[in-house]
Structure 1
Amino acid sequence: MSSKVLLATRLYPPEVGAAAFRLQALTRGLTDAGADVSVLTTRPPRGTDDPRPAKGVKRWPVLRDSGGNVRGYVQYMSFDLPLFFRLLAARADIVVSEPPPTTGLMVALSSWLRRRRYVYYAADIWTDALAATSAPAPVVSIMRSIEGVALRKALKVIAISQGVADQTRQFSVDPSRVVVVGNGVDTETFSPDGPAAEPGYRYFVYTGTMSEWQGAEIFIDAMEEVLLRFPDVRLHFFGQGSAEAALKEKAARMADDRIRFGGVVPPAEAATWIRGAAGSLVSIVPDQGYDFAKPTKIYAAAACGTPVIYAGKGASAGMVAEGGLGYASGFSSTEVAKAMIRLLEEPDHGRAARAAWVEDNASLRTSGRHAAAEVLRAIEEGR
């Protein structure tokens, strides 16, 4: 008899995002191992309906913000509260929970009532990111308590990196119940092979989430210095996030249309823009409690062979430097501008090596299989 696994997540393809792709890879890994998988998720925003709904994916209407995202406490609750009752009605050997912590709390409560176990898939420490924003201290404190409950009550915590695993210690999680499975990207979509954008000028690209703790405004400031040397260069942003409006406002103060925002695009289109870029830009504001993170956009860029400029410090800076993925820069516009100018001046001969590094170290296919194995192992441990 096959094991029955239930995934609880507000994000799942066809929505675009690292969490959605990671859980899809987990689902494939579980299915390949013979498990029966069901996914409790949201109805995707208009314009992204999947013409071929995946088997076992059960969707529920949800409130979204003006950008079409399930982001914000009201939006979270519109998913989490119905989820609680959906979980109570569902049969499973084990449940897998994805952040935010409010979803983890619903999974923890329903699992206690149903007397079954759950696994918490920790892609990050959610409240560390929240604390790096302008969120009120009482809100951070409450959410940290909720995240602690979700982590401690899990039979197993699956972390995407050693940095995330280490951060779980602040919640008094038993280290023996935390496993690292790695993170990655779809190396079939993000690869050096395929079309590259040719807009008629050189450009840099920023893809993915634009949050306060990422500090992407550093690249807009750096562009002012870059344009003094290379007035033909442009900067393209693709994605969305809480800082998007502020970034657009800052970019609008420049004299012309040299910084452009393309919104959320399908992965294949993002890969096209990454392949054609002089460099892909990634940043994390240092000393905000998030220096341990390794953004997926680093892997996506390197998988396409494109050099990365990482502004910040910590785990990502070391990975970019040691892996030969591009340049690690201090978090200052002057240092970032120097790295951007260097990429514009020097020929790039490292595309194949970067793509090979990602295939060896950050394939989503591999991390999905590892995560699936840990979930199935948790079922046996629970028995």
Structure 2
Amino acid sequence: MIATRIYAPEVSAASGILRIWAEEFRDRGFEVTILTARPPTGAVIDDPPGIEVRRAPVKRDRQQYVRGYLSYMSFDIPLAFRLLFSRRADLYVVEPPPTTVAVVRVIGALRRTPYVVRAADYWTEAAELVTRSRLVLGILRRLEAWGLNGAATLFAAHQPLIDRFRVAGITTPAIPIGFGADTKDFHYDGQDAPHDPVFVYAGTHSEWHGAGIFVDAMPAVLERFPGARLVYYGNGEERDGMLARAHELGIEASVAFHGPIPPAALSPILSSATASVASLTPVPANEYALATKVYSSLAAGCPVIFAGVGPTMEFLNDAGHPHAGVAVAYDVEATAAAMVAAATQPLASDGRAELAEWSAGQYSLRAIATRVVDESLAIIPG
């Protein structure tokens, strides 16, 4: 039984990852139930066969995200009763926030059911970008540690995150599983780079992403390439600020914002973009965060420009492929220089096809899901 506030068809990395995990459990002979939230208005539900998905109403913000304490409570409180009165499961798989993990720990104890956590971030440190309240942060830190320490296993993004958990006193066995892309959705279909440069940011643009740096970099790009465009797909609370900044710089005609789109629709957009762009602000919480969107970009044959800190820089610098992309410091001039360089020498179609093939062989979510289920088999009683 998978408990997650976010699931397909809602567009997010977690949605795709958990869908693939569910399919792998199903293919191993398990009955799989997803307890999740009703998707945003207009979303088209297309659940795979053999998986029961139970959706309940939830409070969403104006960007149609389940985000913030009230939204989390609107999911977590009903979740407690949904778990309590559902047929007993062999294993709970839970997606944070920490409040959801805490609910699963309580119900898991009552029903004597072990649980595992998909631990992609350390939420307490990320929350420091939103609030300075010592009371709130102290409660969140204790709640997160309590929930994670009750799990049988943490499926963590990478070793630096596990190291941070250890410093925070979280001692649960943890496995670094890495990230990847669903190559069923993300692949290269033969598109060429456009005549005028196009840079694509696909995903959430929140405080800790700092995606506005690309808006600030665009004037320098437009000096060299007047027809260049910067296109955002996704949503986030920083959008209004980025729109205002584009108007302030007088480049609003060159910057476009669109809502989230399904992976299958995003893939050809990435395949034909000059480069995708990704960022993480230089704050402590991001020192071990990884911009997962880079994997989808590479699987679609699109080089990446990353501005920020953390393991994404190491990943791109050590990727072992000459066209994977470039990582720069979170600096406007350095970011603009990387964008100009990409526009000056766009990757040709044969290079894009080779990049996509290399990425598919290296970073597959299907392979990760296989490992998750293998490890989970040792946890399930009996």
Shared fold by TM > 0.5? Answer: yes
After superposition, the CA RMSD in angstroms is 1.9
CA drift of 1:160 comes to 2.3
Q: Does 1:179 align with 2:175?
A: yes
| 8 Å contact from structure 1 (residues 284, 291) kept in 2 | no
CA drift of 1:52 comes to 5.4
CA-to-partner distance for each residue in 1:11-38, whole Å, 9 max, x for gaps?
A: 1111111001110111011111111111
CA drift of 1:115 comes to 2.0
CA drift of 1:197 comes to 8.8
CA drift of 1:45 comes to 1.5
Which residue of 155, 166, 179 maps to 1:158? 155
Q: Does 1:270 align with 2:266?
A: yes
| 8 Å contact from structure 1 (residues 212, 243) kept in 2 | yes
Which residue of 78, 92, 100 maps to 1:95? 92
Residues in 2 aligned to 1:369 and 1:51: alpha-carbon distance in whole angstroms: 23
Residues in 1 aligned to 2:71 and 2:283: alpha-carbon distance in whole angstroms: 29
CA-to-partner distance for each residue in 1:338-370, whole Å, 9 max, x for gaps?
A: 111111112425424432342233211111111
| 8 Å contact from structure 1 (residues 281, 308) kept in 2 | yes
Residue in structure 2 matched with residue 65 of structure 1 by the alignment? 61
CA-to-partner distance for each residue in 1:176-220, whole Å, 9 max, x for gaps?
A: x1112222111121111266796x742111000111111111111
Residues in 1 aligned to 2:270 and 2:158: alpha-carbon distance in whole angstroms: 24
- Single out whichever of 206-215 and 241-250 deviates more from structure 2: 241-250
- Single out whichever of 184-193 and 344-353 deviates more from structure 2: 344-353
CA drift of 1:230 comes to 1.1
Residue in structure 2 matched with residue 107 of structure 1 by the alignment? 104
| 8 Å contact from structure 2 (residues 156, 175) kept in 1 | yes
Q: Does 1:223 align with 2:218?
A: yes
Change in 2 beyond 3 A, CA 1:376/1:313: same
CA drift of 1:50 comes to 1.1
Residue in structure 2 matched with residue 206 of structure 1 by the alignment? 201
Residues in 1 aligned to 2:170 and 2:211: alpha-carbon distance in whole angstroms: 32
CA-to-partner distance for each residue in 1:239-276, whole Å, 9 max, x for gaps?
A: 01222222222123232411100111111221122111
1:257 alignment partner, SS class:
helix
1:290 alignment partner, SS class:
helix
| 8 Å contact from structure 2 (residues 60, 66) kept in 1 | yes
Change in 2 beyond 3 A, CA 1:194/1:16: farther
| 8 Å contact from structure 2 (residues 122, 285) kept in 1 | no
Residues in 1 aligned to 2:13 and 2:314: alpha-carbon distance in whole angstroms: 21
Residues in 1 aligned to 2:56 and 2:178: alpha-carbon distance in whole angstroms: 30
CA-to-partner distance for each residue in 1:305-341, whole Å, 9 max, x for gaps?
A: 1110111133110111211311111111100011111
CA drift of 1:8 comes to 0.4
Q: Does 1:236 align with 2:236?
A: no
Change in 2 beyond 3 A, CA 1:190/1:333: same
Q: Does 1:292 align with 2:288?
A: yes
Identity %, equivalent residues: 39
TM-score of the aligned structures, taking structure 1 as reference length: 0.92
1:378 alignment partner, SS class:
coil
2:183 alignment partner, SS class:
coil
- Single out whichever of 251-260 and 308-317 deviates more from structure 2: 251-260
Residue in structure 2 matched with residue 374 of structure 1 by the alignment? 375
TM-score of the aligned structures, taking structure 2 as reference length: 0.93
Residues in 1 aligned to 2:39 and 2:285: alpha-carbon distance in whole angstroms: 32
Change in 2 beyond 3 A, CA 1:15/1:336: same
Residues in 1 aligned to 2:274 and 2:134: alpha-carbon distance in whole angstroms: 40
| 8 Å contact from structure 2 (residues 196, 225) kept in 1 | no
Tell me, which stretches of 5 or more residues in structure 1 are unaligned?
A: 1-5
Residues in 1 aligned to 2:225 and 2:355: alpha-carbon distance in whole angstroms: 26
2:226 alignment partner, SS class:
coil
Residues in 2 aligned to 1:107 and 1:67: alpha-carbon distance in whole angstroms: 27
| 8 Å contact from structure 2 (residues 155, 177) kept in 1 | yes
For residue 376 of structure 2, what is the amino acid of its counterpart?
Answer: V
CA drift of 1:237 comes to 0.5
Residue in structure 1 matched with residue 347 of structure 2 by the alignment? 348
* Superposed counterparts of 1:188-207, under 5 Å: 188-193=184-189, 201-207=196-202
| 8 Å contact from structure 1 (residues 152, 173) kept in 2 | yes
| 8 Å contact from structure 2 (residues 197, 225) kept in 1 | no
Q: Does 1:315 align with 2:311?
A: yes
1:79 alignment partner, SS class:
helix
Tell me, which stretches of 5 or more residues in structure 2 are unaligned?
A: none
Change in 2 beyond 3 A, CA 1:160/1:319: same
Residues in 2 aligned to 1:153 and 1:98: alpha-carbon distance in whole angstroms: 14
- Count of aligned residue pairs for this structure pair: 374
Higher relative contact order (CA 8 A, sep 6+): 1
For residue 148 of structure 1, what is the amino acid of its counterpart?
Answer: A
Q: Does 1:80 align with 2:76?
A: yes
For residue 234 of structure 1, what is the amino acid of its counterpart?
Answer: R
For residue 28 of structure 2, what is the amino acid of its counterpart?
Answer: A
Residue in structure 2 matched with residue 3 of structure 1 by the alignment? none
Residues in 2 aligned to 1:306 and 1:286: alpha-carbon distance in whole angstroms: 25
| 8 Å contact from structure 1 (residues 122, 158) kept in 2 | yes
Q: Does 1:248 align with 2:247?
A: no
Q: Does 1:42 align with 2:37?
A: yes
Residues in 2 aligned to 1:240 and 1:193: alpha-carbon distance in whole angstroms: 26
Change in 2 beyond 3 A, CA 1:196/1:77: farther
Residues in 1 aligned to 2:352 and 2:191: alpha-carbon distance in whole angstroms: 15
Which residue of 12, 22, 28 maps to 2:23? 28
